[in-house]
């Protein structure tokens, strides 16, 4: 049984359609990350699930129960806000106990349940402190404890790591994931940070202009995006436009401005279709191009998808080098490779990739409300 089900969910603010006919189901214990740019509808969707925004059309089901018209306090959903929304005049213990008190839980039970959840989030001994006396990570864990202490049906997280520094944010990604798995609670996680979505989620729901573009496992979102917009939004994409000229052997051949490229496709089946070839920077291999025009074959070079170009820029990132290589008058690709050997700006280089590393997508950019 689905733990969260959204049926034809729609919300407008004046002429702006914030969420357009959204249909989605989350399985019990699943963590789904809503990912997209500002204004795409991800936070509005979360607020409708929580009950802070009323849907114009559609229905919301939590744990098999329709909650569309219910106020937030009757939806059995734990919420963690971006700014944590802790009461500064209450201690950690009092903040965490607040929801239980509102639900008229006996005082003896409150003390035990708060102690148990503070131990779970590694805040034992800090119950008497006030929020301003806590670090950012401790405040975030207090907010998580407050949301989880009454065993809600679902957990809703609205960019909970946005206010933390980069190193702590990375640590907390894994902490939240392990805590969510320990509790086995169905979770909606809203973020604009792609790394967070890919690390945390069982599935990622990518939104644009109020419309769900794709929901899939993180690996599929990255390696097999449904349209060119998703490919360009998630990670770094080298999108080379062209037209399918052959698809007879299961591998599509695409005529482009830099030559014929071979790749695999999802929904593309017909020849003569306008497409883009998406090759991720880490899939491209750099090779020395000899003065004769041939390639230094000291390493294995695929027989297909060989290109040549000139290095226009190079950035050293420690564990890798990020190159920009011009392979045509209007085509510059990003290549991320090992930092050594070094290819310098102005070097003529060859690039190669296999057909399996090239994903062919329809040329249209994706659906928008």
Average per-residue pLDDT for the chain: 93
Average pLDDT over residues 233-262: 93
Helix (H) / strand (E) element for 242: namely: strand 238-246
Can you give the pLDDT at residue 301?
65
Structural contact between residues 89 and 133, judged by C-beta atoms closer than 8 angstroms: no
Average pLDDT value for residue range 217-244: 96
Whether 200 shows a pLDDT value over 50: the answer reads: yes
Tens-digit pLDDT profile for residues 41-54 = 999 999 999 999 99
Dmax of the chain from CA atoms? 84
| CA 9/CA 309 separation, integer angstroms | 48
Cβ neighbors of 50 (< 8 A, separation 6 or more) are 72, 75, 77, 79, 156
pTM of the predicted structure, to 2 decimals: 0.92
Whole-angstrom distance, CA of residue 160 vs CA of residue 140 = 7
What is the DSSP code string of 144-212?
HHHHHTT--SEEEEESTTTTS-HHHHHHHHHHHHHHHHHHT-EEEEEES-HHHHHHH-SEEEEEETTEE
Cα 185 from Cα 179, distance rounded (Å): 9
Q: Distance (Å, rounded) from C-alpha 225 to C-alpha 228?
A: 7
Spatial separation of the C-alpha atoms in residues 350 and 207, rounded to whole Å: 37
Q: Please give the average per-residue pLDDT across 64-74, as a whole number.
A: 95
Domain 237-362 homologous superfamily, CATH: Nucleic acid-binding proteins (2.40.50.140)
What percentage of the chain exceeds 70 in pLDDT? 93
Whole-number pLDDT of residue 298: 47
> How far apart, in Å, do the first and last CA atoms of the chain sit?
30
Taking alpha carbons only, the member of 34, 6, 15, 1 closest to residue 205 is 34
- Return the percent helix, strand and coil in the chain, to nearest 5: 25, 35, 40
Q: What is the pLDDT of residues 319-362, one digit of tens each?
A: 999 999 999 999 999 999 999 989 999 999 999 999 999 999 98
**In the chain, which residues fall in CATH 2.40.50.140?**
237-362
Q: What is the pLDDT of residue 178?
A: 95
Cis peptide bond upstream of 315, omega within 30: no
Enter the DSSP assignment of 342: P
pLDDT reported for residue 269: 58
Task: Give the span between the Cα atoms of 149 and 111, in whole angstroms.
Answer: 11
What is the Cα gyration radius of the chain? 25
Contact yes or no for 118/83 (Cβ under 8 A): no
> How far are the Cα atoms of 198, 350, 360 from residue 337, in angstroms, in the given order?
21, 13, 23
Q: pLDDT at position 247, please?
A: 83
Residue of 196, 160, 353, 364 whose CA lies nearest to 273: 364
So what's the pLDDT on residue 215?
98
* C-alpha span between 41 and 37 (Å, rounded): 9
Structure confidence by residue, pLDDT tens digits, 129-183: 999 999 999 999 999 999 999 999 999 999 999 989 989 999 999 999 999 999 9
Beta strands 358-362; 259-265: pairing state = parallel
CB-CB neighbours of 236 under 10 Å: 14
Q: Pick the more confident residue, 124 or 364.
A: 124
Q: Is the pLDDT of residue 366 over 80?
A: no
Report, as an integer, the average pLDDT of 188-217: 97
Listed in order, the ranges of the chain carrying CATH 3.40.50.300 are 2-228
Residue 264: strand pairing partners: 359
Q: In CATH, which of 3.40.50.80, 3.40.1190.20, 3.40.50.300, 3.30.40.10 is domain 2-228?
A: 3.40.50.300
pLDDT tens for each residue of 250-302: 799 999 999 999 999 987 656 778 999 999 999 999 998 755 555 554 455 66
């Amino acid at each position: 049984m689905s733990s969260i089900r959204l049926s034809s969910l729609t919300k407008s603010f004046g002429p702006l359609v914030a969420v357009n006919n959204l249909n989605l189901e989350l399985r019990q214990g699943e963590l789904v990350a809503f990912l997209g740019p500002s204004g795409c509808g991800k936070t509005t969707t979360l607020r409708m699930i929580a009950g802070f925004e009323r849907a114009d059309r559609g229905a919301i089901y939590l744990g098999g129960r329709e909650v569309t018209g219910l106020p937030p306090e009757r939806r059995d959903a734990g919420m963690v806000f971006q700014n944590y929304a802790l009461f500064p005049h209450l201690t950690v213990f009092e903040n965490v106990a607040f929801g239980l008190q509102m639900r008229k839980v006996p005082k003896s039970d409150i003390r035990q349940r708060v102690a148990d959840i503070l131990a779970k989030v590694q805040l034992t001994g800090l119950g008497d402190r006030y929020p301003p006396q806590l670090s950012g990570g401790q405040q975030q864990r207090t907010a998580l404890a407050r949301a989880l202490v009454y065993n809600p049906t679902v957990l809703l997280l609205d960019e909970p790591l946005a206010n933390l520094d980069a190193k702590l944010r990375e640590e907390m990604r894994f902490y939240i994931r392990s805590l969510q798995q320990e509790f086995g609670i169905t979770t909606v996680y809203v973020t604009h940070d792609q790394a967070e979505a890919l690390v945390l989620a069982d599935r990622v729901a990518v939104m644009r202009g109020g419309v769900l573009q794709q929901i899939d496992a993180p690996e599929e979102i990255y390696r097999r995006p449904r349209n060119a917009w998703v490919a360009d939004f998630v990670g770094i994409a080298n999108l080379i436009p062209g037209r399918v000229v052959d698809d007879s052997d299961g591998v599509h051949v695409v005529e482009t401005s830099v030559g014929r490229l071979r790749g695999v496709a999802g929904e593309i089946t017909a020849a003569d279709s306008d497409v883009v070839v998406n090759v991720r920077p880490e899939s491209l291999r750099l090779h020395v191009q000899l003065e004769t025009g041939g390639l230094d074959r000291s390493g294995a070079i695929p027989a297909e998808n060989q290109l040549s170009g000139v290095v226009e820029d190079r950035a050293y990132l420690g564990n890798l080098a990020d190159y920009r290589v011009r392979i045509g008058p209007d085509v510059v690709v990003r290549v991320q490779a090992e930092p050594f050997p070094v290819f310098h700006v102005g070097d003529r280089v060859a690039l190669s990739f296999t057909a399996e590393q090239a994903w062919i997508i329809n040329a249209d950019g994706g659906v928008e409300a």
